[in-house]
Amino acid sequence: MVNLNLAKWNRKNVIDWDVISYYSYLPAYFIEGDISLKFYEKNPDYYSYQNHMYVPLKCPNGNLVIKTTMGMAMMYLPFFSVAHAYAKLSGYDTNGFSEPYQCLIQFSGLFYLLVGLFFLRKILLQNFNEKVTAFTLLSLVFGTHLVFYGSVHGAMAHATDFMLAAMFIYYSVKWLQVPRLKFVLLLGVVGGLLVLIRPVNILIFSFLLLYKIDSVNSLTERFKLFISNVGQLLIMVVIIFLVVLPQLMYWKFITGQYLFNSYVGESFYFAQPHLLDGLFGFRKGWLLYAPIMIFSLIGVIWMFRKKKEFALAVSVLFLVYTYVILSWWCWWYGGSWGLRAMIDIYPFLALGMAVYINRLYNEKVSFRKAGFSILIALIVLNLFQTLQYRWGIIHYDGMTKEAYTDALFRIEKSPDLEKLIKRPDYDKALKGVE
């Protein structure tokens, strides 16, 4: 048998942090046979977070509830099943957290990333040539945090969301071109999973409304299309509901309510979004730690002249989505590499990147060489900084201007890092205090 007894899986640092909540539905239901987590209360020391197993919250009626929704558990399920079968055959612990489970859950992120790139490539090739498509994908994967969250932290939700968002674009365009039932069925499943993984992903549905909208007349025609195909749209809504239904039933069973905010005490503060901090700040600034995406945003602006069919849909989604995620109390999204929440809409922003790269190919040779040189340099920078993050040179939530400056070109952790960083006050942030 293949030996999976590797240090990474032994440390159990795959099923950890958020992934524990995403994943714990599966071992609780299929292994322990108790989704109410009564087994946890009988032996909390064994099943504890310290052992990287469960981290339930207590709801008002005293029952234990899993914090996150079960969308990722559904996406893990095929890999969990293979791991469980392998663990039984190979003599590994079948508690759901031994090496085979860790390994297969880690692999799921890479698998979903590759499927997402497959669909994104199909979308790009419908609008750009092979060269533009290839360089866009190269820039998006290796020039941003996507490479990290599709590999090292592949068990997190971002690579999976990336895939589903790319599929949503693809099948939305297909349905708007030819309203066929099979596209509606696929949109229902994909859209339902997007919402079930992260409810804020409901914003992605705006693409279905705004794609190819560039005037009042085109918006009127879109509503006419919806009305003439209202039956199909109702089917899509029903499918979305069926995908989400297990979550509603779980909440009803555990809490007594069909709708329940399991993020107890956590909320959005829409009156005080951290837009500048989230985009440019030293702690997690998206465009500071993934500067190549500046060119994607330039491309989104150019869309209004070069690719009007995508312009309104992508720009509105970007603006609203960014505002919402940076209104979350923990706008830096905990210990992480960069502003990871932005990855979920990268398939849309890839279109802006492609517009920019396409224009580079049509510029003078000197300007083209300079433009591609900058993109390649930023890809190298991202890969180097990703290594710095892995080595602890870039801090996971406390970066400052001084810490950032000190980290430049370092290949070893600074002995003064703790003096240079400034950890966020999580208690104050929960209350919406600056």
**Model confidence pLDDT, tens digit, residues 293-324:** 999 999 999 999 989 999 999 999 999 999 99
Please name which of 8, 338, 346, 416 lies closest in space to residue 201, comparing C-alpha atoms. 346
pLDDT of residue 51: 75
Sign of torsion over alpha carbons 207, 209, 210, 212 = positive
308 and 395 co-located in one domain? yes
pLDDT bucket at 404, cuts 50 / 70 / 90: very high
Q: Burial, 39: exposed, middle or buried (Cβ in 10 Å; 0-12, 13-18, 19+)?
A: middle
Q: Summarize the confidence of residues 205-229 as an average pLDDT.
A: 95
Distance of CA 369 to the CA centre of its chain: 33
Q: Are residues 409 and 300 in the same domain?
A: yes
Asked if pLDDT for residue 10 goes beyond 70, the answer is: no
Same domain for 388 and 295, yes or no, is yes
Residues 144 and 47 in one domain: no
Q: Looking at the domain assignment, is residue 110 inside a domain?
A: no
Same domain assignment for residues 243 and 188: yes
pLDDT band at 6 (very low <50, low <70, confident <90, very high): very low
Confidence of residue 48 (pLDDT cuts 50, 70, 90): confident
pLDDT band at residue 4 under the 50/70/90 scheme:
very low
Confidence of residue 12 (pLDDT cuts 50, 70, 90): low
Q: What is the pLDDT of residue 3?
A: 46
Average pLDDT rounded to a whole number, residues 8-34: 84
Question: Which residue, among 39, 32, 40, 30, has the nearest Cα to 74 in the 3D structure?
Answer: 30
Could you tell me if residue 1 is inside a domain?
Answer: no
> 188 lies in a domain?
yes
Residues above pLDDT 90, as percent of the chain: 87
Using one digit for the tens of pLDDT, what is the confidence trace for 372-392? 999 999 999 999 999 999 999
Lookup: tokens for 335: 């210990």
**Residue 331 pLDDT > 50:** yes
pLDDT at 175 over 60: yes
Counting Cβ atoms within 10 Å, is residue 328 exposed (0-12), middle (13-18) or buried (19+)?
Answer: buried
Query: Is the pLDDT score of 9 beyond 90?
Result: no
> Considering the chain, what percentage of its residues have pLDDT values greater than 70?
97
Which helix (H) or strand (E) segment holds residue 57: the answer is strand 57-58
CA max distance for the chain = 71
Instruction: State yes or no: pLDDT of 363 exceeds 90.
Output: no
334 with 402, same domain: the answer is: yes
Q: Are residues 80 and 186 in the same domain?
A: no
Domain finish residue from 82, 103, 124: 103
Distance, CA of 90 to CA of 59 (rounded, Å): 38
pLDDT digits (tens, 9 = 90+) for 55-98: 889 998 989 999 999 999 999 999 999 999 999 999 999 999 99
Q: Does the residue 120 lie in any domain?
A: yes
Query: What six digits make up the tokens of 181?
Result: 């039932």
47-63: b or e for each residue (b if 16 or more CB lie within 10 Å)? beeeebbbbbeebeeeb
∠ CA 246-252-257, rounded to 5°:
130
| Residue 370 belongs to a domain | yes
Could you give the CA distance from residue 36 to residue 146 in angstroms, rounded to a whole number? 35
Structure tokens at 150: 């599709």
CA distances in angstroms from 107 to 148, 150, 156, 211, 224, listed in the order given:
13, 9, 11, 33, 44
- Asked if residue 155 and residue 98 are part of one domain, the reply reads no
Interatomic CA distance for residues 150 and 362, integer angstroms? 32
Which residues pair with residue 64 across a beta bridge?
Answer: 58
And the tokens for 237? 């809504």
The answer to whether position 111 is within a domain reads no
Average pLDDT along the chain: 93
Q: Judge whether residue 2 has pLDDT over 80.
A: no
Number of CB atoms found within 10 A of residue 82's CB: 15
Residue 345 is part of which domain span?
Answer: 116-429
Least confident segment among 36-50, 137-151, 199-213 = 36-50
Residues 44 and 184 in one domain: no
pLDDT in the model for residue 5: 44
Are 250 and 356 within one domain? yes
- At 53 the pLDDT is 85
Instruction: Check pLDDT > 60 for residue 11.
Output: no
Same domain, 75 and 185: no
Q: Which of 103, 125, 147 is the last residue of a domain?
A: 103
pLDDT beyond 70 at 7: no
Q: How many domains does the chain have?
A: 2
CA distance 69 to 85: 25
Q: How many C-beta atoms lie closer than 10 Å to residue 346's C-beta?
A: 24
pLDDT of residue 257: 94
d(CA 229, CA 363): 43
Distances (CA, A) of 384 to 142, 296, 394: 10, 21, 11
- Report the C-alpha gap between 56 and 67 in whole angstroms: 6
**Are both 202 and 343 inside the same structural domain?**
yes
Q: Is residue 143 part of a domain?
A: yes
Query: Which domain-ending residue is among 70, 103, 136?
Result: 103
Q: What is the DSSP letter of 58?
A: E
Q: Is residue 108 part of a domain?
A: no
